[in-house]
Structure 1
Amino acid sequence: MGRLDDKVAIVTGAAMGQGAEIARAYVAEGASVVIADVAKEQGQALADELGAAAHFVHHDVSDAGSWASLVEDANGRFGTVSVLANNAGILRFGDIERMPADEVELLWRVNQLGCFLGMQAVTRTMRKAGGGSIINASSVEGLAGMASCTAYAATKWAIRGMTKCAAMELGPKGIRVNSVHPGMIDTPMTRVHGGDAAMEYGASKVPLRRVGTPADIAPVYVFLASDESSYVNGAEIAVDGGVTSTHAFGA
């Protein structure tokens, strides 16, 4: 406990699943957390659960104005933002021949543009404070390919690339930027694409023979937010049960 004492964190996509577990872990380790999400009911319920150290803000990651308001709110409520967990994202499958352009654009706006705007919004604050940590949620699809996942993977590869560039640009300002690459994680976002059957199939592809849980992901976010990772910058950390260790990933 206390690994994140005095840290002020924004966690996007924090109302449910992986983001909610990150928010819980941050509060447990001493951070003050702004829970940012479009899901009002679930986000407020989580803030109520976590108490005075947490606050919910309705937030659209694809809107620059929403980001400006979010950071201003966080700075005013808890103090200078020192951690951004750029966790918000959506998943859509679609064959190249058939996937509608509006779904491709939606993936880009939420996953890729949202990540960029988040980094942009906190950089000035973190620079003035002397540093901070930005953690961008990519995916194993940002490390390798998968059929019927072209549009989604494009956004996750982009996040991987943006992370590398931002680490070089912001490192001299004391701001570390790293990416986390989860494998198949049992969350509402993944369960909607096949339920238990999808989880069972996913587990069969993992060397550990199970899908991950949000509790498998949150400790990595705690480490990257903490001073323990003060020399970790521009890294890509796969949390996937070993699935990307084989050339057959995605087969």
Structure 2
Amino acid sequence: MLENKTIIITGVSSGIGQETALQAKAAGAKVIGVDRNAPSIELDAFHQVDLTDEAALDALIEELKSVKADGLANIAGVPPTAPKEVVVTVNLVALQKLTLGLVDSLKDGASIVNLASLAGLGWEGEVARIKAAEGLTHEGVAAFCAAHDITTENSYFFTKQALVAFTHENRWTWRDRGIRMNAVSPGPVDTPILGDFLETLGERAEEDARIMDRPGTPKDIAPVVTFLLSDGSGWLRGINISCDGGMRAYIDATSNGLN
């Protein structure tokens, strides 16, 4: 499915990123990993970078431009328990900077996949703040958070809402080159940071756990990301796939009186 393709995957040293790297390699891809921690799996190349360090990110972009990759999977992220400035920087600002910095060097027909979240629901009501974040730099994150009421409690939700909007907005941006962008929105997933989500979401997490049969696993999410990286998804552009055990369907049905 990914034979003779080169795929860049961020967040490759744990959780969904690690599993996506394993499945991409099994599908025939050459995988170049990016993470702040060293990986425990074999990759074709690896760059150890802290995405909160703008100079290091700039250097990474320059290195990766020579790769001419067939795909970019933006999976690196921090949980909602991290400081709001870190959440906004890693989950949104660095992701967009990396993507826009590399897109010109990607091969024609390349696929970009963003790991969003069920937390991105309701992005339509956040358009003003999302637009205000366009072009945001590392240096400007603290001032942006202060000016737009981005708090520890809502920072994660905001970044995932902005990421869903970013995906929709760029559905055809690079259509003349056949480059497409899509997103995957997991629900609760059993990764090393699941505890952070439960701590932050509190009663909402308890309600989700009651409704769901189980949390997801990286093996539930990675095949969807891998498919979006493949040529088989070539007609999918700007979509956000809910991969959440039915939670999005439950929310939509309940809000419309179907349950």
Give the alignment's TM-score, normalised by structure 1.
0.79
Task: Give the deviation of 1:75 after TM superposition.
Answer: 5.7
Change in Cα spacing, 1:133 to 1:226, as seen in structure 2 (3 Å) is: same
> CA contact under 8 A between 2:184 and 2:240: conserved in structure 1?
yes
Structure 1 position 81 matched with structure 2 position 69: yes
Residue 29 (structure 1) aligned to one of 10, 27, 30: 27
Counterpart residue number, 1:99: none
Once residues 67 and 123 of structure 1 are traced to their aligned partners in structure 2, the CA distance between those partners, rounded to angstroms, is 15
Displacement of 1:28 in angstroms is 0.5
Task: Give the secondary-structure state (helix, strand or coil) at the position aligned to 2:236.
Answer: coil
Number of aligned pairs? 221
Question: 1:18·1:218 contact (CA, 8 Å) conserved in 2?
Answer: yes
What corresponds to 2:111 in structure 1? 133
What is the CA distance between 1:173 and its match in structure 2?
2.4
Once residues 80 and 117 of structure 1 are traced to their aligned partners in structure 2, the CA distance between those partners, rounded to angstroms, is 17
Q: Give secondary structure in 2 for the equivalent of 1:160.
A: helix
For residue 70 of structure 1, what is the aligned residue in structure 2?
Answer: 60
Partner of 1:225: 229
2:170 — aligned with what?
Answer: 166
Tell me, yes or no, if the aligned pair for 2:79 and 2:197 is still in contact at 8 Å.
Answer: no
SS at the partner of 2:60? helix
Q: Secondary structure at the match of 1:210?
A: coil
Contact 1:63 1:114 in 2 (8 A): no
Which 4+ runs in 1 deviate beyond 6 A?
Answer: 198-201
Structure 1 residue corresponding to 2:187, chosen from 183, 187, 192:
183
How far did residue 59 of structure 1 move? 1.7
- Structure 1 unaligned residues grouped into runs of 5+: 94-101
Which AA in structure 2 matches 1:57?
H
Deviation at 1:60, TM superposition (A): 2.6
Matching of residue 154 in structure 1 with residue 158 in structure 2: yes
**The one of 88, 96, 104 aligned to 1:124:** 104
1:192: how far off? 4.5
Q: Secondary structure at the match of 1:212?
A: coil
Once the two structures are TM-superposed, the CA of residue 65 in structure 1 deviates from its matched residue by: 4.3
Deviations 1:134-176 (A, max 9, x none): 000110000249xx85211000000011111222212232110
Please point out which of 101, 104, 109 is paired with 2:84. Answer: 104
Gaps of 5+ in 2: 124-151
Q: Which residue of 2 aligns with 1:7?
A: 5
In the alignment, the residues of structure 1 paired with residue 218 and residue 113 of structure 2 have an alpha-carbon distance, to the nearest angstrom, of 16
Residue aligned with 1:89, SS: coil
Partner of 2:244: 240
Equivalent-residue separation in structure 1 for 2:112 and 2:56 (angstroms): 18
Q: Match of 1:204, as an amino acid?
A: R
Aligned to 1:98: none
Structure 2 letter corresponding to 1:11: I
Distance of 1:194 and 1:108 partners within structure 2? 19
- Give the Å deviation of 1:217: 0.4
Give 3-state SS (helix, strand or coil) of 2:79's partner: coil
Alignment partner of 1:90 is 2:78: yes
Change (3 A) 1:5 1:91: same
Name the SS for the 2:173 alignment partner: helix
| Partner-residue secondary structure (3-state), 1:234 | coil
Deviations 1:57-114, CA, capped at 9 Å, x for gaps: 10233445434543554465xx421110000111115xxxxxxxx9222111010112
Distance 1:149 1:245, change over 3 A: farther
